[in-house]
Amino acid sequence: GPLKPGDAVGVAFLTGDLQLGGTGTVTHIDGDHVYAFGHPMYNLGPTEFPMTRAYVYTVLPSLFSSMKLSTTGEVIGTFLQDRATTIAGRLGPGPKLIPLTLTLDSGRAPKRTFTFSVVNDQLFTPLMTYASILNTTGSYERQFGSATFQVRGTARLDKHEPITYDNIFSGEQAAMGTAAYIVGPITYLMGNDFEKVDLRSVDLTISTAEEPKTATLERIWIDDQRPRAGRTVPLKMLLRTYRGEDVLRTLPIEIPANASGTLSLVVSDGARLGQAEQRETRTPSQLRSVDQVIRSLNKGRRNNTLYVKLVGSDAGAIINGEPLSALPPSVLGVLEGDRNGGTFSPLHGATIGEWQLPTDHLVNGSRSITLTISQN
98-209 has which fold? Ubiquitin-like (UB roll) (3.10.20)
pLDDT above 60 for 71: yes
pLDDT tens string 301-331 = 899 999 999 988 665 555 655 555 555 555 5
CA distance 117 to 22: 16
The residues spanned by each domain of the chain are: 8-91, 98-209, 214-313+349-373
Q: What is the pLDDT of residue 189?
A: 95
Look at 100-114, 149-163, 239-253, 268-282 and tell me which has the smallest mean pLDDT. Answer: 268-282
pLDDT in tens, 8-60: 999 999 999 999 999 999 999 999 999 999 999 999 999 999 999 999 999 99
Helices and strands in the chain: count of H runs, count of E runs: 5, 22
Closest by Cα among 125, 123, 37, 16 to 82: 37
Per-residue model confidence as pLDDT tens digits over 323-372: 555 555 555 565 566 555 555 555 556 788 899 999 989 999 999 998 88
- Global pTM value: 0.82
What whole-number distance in Å separates Cα of residue 55 and Cα of residue 154?
36
H/E segment holding residue 130: helix 124-140
